[in-house]
Amino acid sequence: MKKAGILMILGPLFLLGLYVFPLWNIMLGAPQYPDPLGLNIHINGLRGVSEFDIQNIDGLNHYIGMHTLPKAEEMWEFGTFPMVIGIMVGIGVLIGVLGYLGKVNYKWFLGWFLLMSILGILGMYDFNEWLVDYGTNLDPNAIMKLTNPDGSPMTYKPPLLGHVKMLNFDVTSLPSTGAWLMFMGMMLTLVAAFMGWKSTKNQN
Amino acid sequence: MKIYNHLILTLGVALMLFSCGQQNQSSNGALSSSAAEKVYVAPGEQDEYYAFLSGGYSGNLTVYGLPSGRMFKEIPVFSQFPTSGYGYSEETVPMLNTSHGFVPWDDAHHPDISQTNGELDGRWIFINGNNTPRIARVDLSTFETAEIIEVPNSAGNHSSSFITENTEYVVAGTRFSVPVPQRDMPINEYKGNFKGALTFISVDPEHGHMAIKFQLLMPGFNYDLSHPGRGKSHGWFFFTTYNTEEANSLLEVNASQNDKDFIAAINWKKIEEYVNNGGGTKMPANYAHNVYDEHSHTGTSTMRNEVLTIDPTKVPGAVYFLPTPKSPHGCDVDPTGQYIIGNGKLSADLTVHSFDKMIAAIEGQKFDGEAYGIPILKFEDVLAGQVKSGGLGPLHTEFDGKGNAYTTFFISSEVVKWKLGTWEVIDRKPTYYSVGHLMIPGGNSRKPFGKYVVAMNKITKDRYLPTGPEMEHSAQLYDISGDKMELLYDFPTHGEPHYAAGCPAELLTSNSKKIYRLDENRHPYAVTTADGSKVVRDGNEVHVYMSTIRSHFTPDNIEGIKIGDKVYFHITNHEQDFDVPHGFAILGQNSSELLVMPGQTKTSVWEPKEVGVWPFYCTDFCSALHQEMQGYVRVSPANSNTELKWSLGE
């Protein structure tokens, strides 16, 4: 149980990477952009991969009536997410320490993992909602109003995961370093739960 | 029977030539790649080398890629350039200021890339204006002209602009000797009275700023070309001379009489020491020094009024003459600094002097008389060897760093490869036609990149599609990586290139700027915020602080301009995206358009002469809405009360 406790302390600490590294990354490449434009999504705001990428993405998107990318203060998520992650790291480490001391059992580990998973899924859901809004809530006075072959207005929601061709741009959306660190950390807590369960079983 | 013999002989020779040709082809074999493959740079791929070709009488510098021969850019240097507004915009007009006023053109000759420890460092490239003597420095992070300094007491600034191996100096020698200082005197009293000024311009190691350190006032010969010593001969500079006869008329005959002219060897370190110890004579002079500031995007011209002159006879051991046959043209120093090559343009041979022998002769005081107090060394004492090439009219020599030299022959129209030390000719290849300069990237440094040589031809008859009496010149690219040179490619060049400089691409690519930062823009009339645009009247001067971003001008409607006003359009491009310039032109503008790079500010003056509503527009196709990027200026009569106002989207 001590080893499991150590893993349970380490796992949540991996989430601290989210304060440094981006959670998600969206790249926009086109023939006229040999160096693609890129958007890094951090838990506390959006940043360009290169210094002026956000300005240049906004500059392009205004043709098709998309709103400018939100500043950190314009979305509650960028204030809330860092707090949620902080609280979850705190709780996780506390559970790990208590587990190490034998005060709580593996079920708490599993509980933290499940709670974090639910929060993660909610986060993804929220993120997707924003992508939908960003890509479909278009300025009615847009310079270019494009339609699909069936006559419906064309929308520009970037993919949550993977690649789509959007007008002249290849848009690729993938988890970034922060997400991978979070994934590894959560896996560690799952391993901790498994080890805790095994040691409990062995004691029995 | 005699005729038969002749025929057989001719046939025999023809067959031999034919079979030689065949042999050559078969020796290349099916395994070696074709010339087409060697010069082909596939779409999306990049060239291996940059080549900077002087634009000759275009006054500019052109940037090419090797081996593709594709031209990437024309950098305006000494000539007005309506494409960008250089020499027309208020910011760049001062760059072309001289003691003779605004001179919008020059004859650009010899580019040279800055060096550290004798190797190319890729910071700046220098080039000389020949007609109104000037030296320019081009920044190789922006590929724009950063500085131009006028050279007083010089005339026909031709043995220029060559740099010493740590870019301590950029050197400018005069081709025409003139009275120094200039004065009203009979031309036929030239001999003994005119002077040839060799000017050493120091280069600030950090910023590259140029300043004339001293001018050496030499006898009144023609100083044709020069190159620095390097390695062991660092500290010396070598100039070819012609017209040591000091003729002032019909030079093609009168300056070709002496069997030998000189290479002047200048120990500049010795003169530098003399100057640093207070030597030399200050002489009143009048010359312009023009500096472009990258952050204010503005050039400033300052007039200088004094130059330090040196009498070469006052500095013992500083200057010697090396006799060199037949009006030598190019003066080239091999990568080790041991050999000084005099390309005797009216002879068949090349004369090679030895630096070691020169030093020994100087130390042995073995002189063969003197000219105007300057010791002449004995030809035999300094001679290292002669290349009996069989060609005619050698002009210039470059080096491959593998012990070989390549010399152009103008009259016999060929490039000849020969070996340093043994002086044997290894290979020769014809050029089409009448080659002048040649260039191997780094070929005049301690470390040449001996893969290609570019031959710059003076005549291009018959090689391209005809375009009337006037046409571009032609360059030819040879592969010199093997024992034999291989002609790969012909490509046209702009103006008449006199020399070129080249370097590996990676030396420059990572430093090449993509935009200017708007937050570093310190132009006094810049608009750096979206809502900072305004129009300000000051008497009959009106300053329009205008910004551009895809795809509109702010403001785009201006009223209250009157006849008699002088309207300054200060255009700031708010883009911070690579390759999104905006242009500006207004109907009736008496200058050129402006092409404003992202983050940059440029100014154009407009003096409306007729009442009306006049359009302006973006001249650079900037986006799908480029055609919408336009505006109007209302011009009212001089005595009207039309209120000054400006707007966007109202």
pLDDT, tens digit (0-9, with 9 covering 90-100), for B14-72: 444 444 444 444 444 445 569 999 999 999 899 999 999 999 999 999 999 999 999 99
**Which residue from B minimizes the CA distance to A50?**
B577
Residue B246 in tokens:
């000091």
Question: In whole angstroms, what is the distance from residue B480 CA to residue B487 CA?
Answer: 9
Q: Which of B171, B179, B174, B176 is nearest to B157 (CA)?
A: B174
Number of residues that this document lists for chain A = 204
Does residue B121 register a pLDDT over 70?
yes
Query: Which run of H or E residues covers position B557?
Result: strand B557-562
Q: Which residues of B touch A51 (CB under 8 A)?
A: 576
CB-nearest to B576 from A35, A52, A144 is A52
Q: What angle do CA B620, B552, B578 make, to 5 degrees?
A: 50
Q: What angle do CA B263, B199, B189 make, to 5 degrees?
A: 70
Residue A107 belongs to domain spanning: 2-203
Residue B74 in tokens:
């024309």
Reading phi first (left if > 0) and then psi (alpha if -120 to 50, else beta), residue B133 is in beta
Task: Look up residue B428 and give its amino acid.
Answer: R
Question: In whole angstroms, what is the distance from residue B534 CA to residue B567 CA?
Answer: 13
Does residue B572 register a pLDDT over 60?
yes
Does residue B5 register a pLDDT over 70?
no
Cβ–Cβ below 8 Å for B550 and A59: yes
Digit-by-digit pLDDT tens for chain A (204 residues) are 788 999 999 999 999 999 999 999 999 999 888 889 999 999 999 999 999 999 999 988 888 899 999 998 999 999 999 999 999 999 999 999 999 998 888 999 999 999 999 999 999 999 999 999 999 999 888 888 888 889 888 888 888 899 999 888 999 999 999 999 999 999 999 999 999 898 888 876
Return the SS3 of B67: coil
How close is the nearest chain B Cα to the Cα of A52, in Å?
6
Domain count, chain A: 1
Burial B10-32 (b: 16+ CB within 10 A, else e): eeeeeeeeeeeeeeeeeeeeeee
pLDDT digits (tens, 9 = 90+) for B342-398: 988 888 889 999 999 999 999 999 899 999 999 999 999 999 999 998 789 999 999
Q: Does B4 or B439 have the greater pLDDT score?
A: B439
**Which residue from A minimizes the CA distance to B515?**
A52
The position carrying tokens 């979070």 is: A182
Query: Phi, psi (5° rounding) for residue B319?
Result: -135, 135
How close is the nearest chain B Cα to the Cα of A56, in Å?
6
Cβ–Cβ below 8 Å for B575 and A59: yes
Q: Which of B124, B133, B168, B136 is nearest to B271 (CA)?
A: B168
Residue A15 DSSP one-character state:
G
DSSP string of A108-164? Answer: HHHHHHHHHHHHHHHHHHHHHHHHHHHHH---TT-S---B-TTSPBP--PPPSSEEE
Residue B528 in tokens:
């750096």
Question: In whole angstroms, what is the distance from residue B355 CA to residue B265 CA?
Answer: 10
Question: In whole angstroms, what is the distance from residue B115 CA to residue B168 CA?
Answer: 9
Beta bridge partners of B219: B195
Q: Which domains does chain B have, with CATH numbers?
A: 51-246+261-509 (2.130.10.10), 518-647 (2.60.40.420)
Beta bridge partners of B429: B415
CB B503 within 8 A of CB B122: yes
Per-residue pLDDT at A34: 85
A interface with B, Cβ–Cβ below 8 Å: 35, 51-52, 55-56, 59, 63, 143-144
Per-residue pLDDT at A151: 87
CB B62 within 8 A of CB B500: no
Query: Which run of H or E residues covers position B209?
Result: none
Pairing between β-strand B541-549 and β-strand B566-573 as defined by DSSP bridges: parallel
Does residue B585 register a pLDDT over 60?
yes
Per-residue pLDDT at B456: 96
Question: In whole angstroms, what is the distance from residue B395 CA to residue B511 CA?
Answer: 34
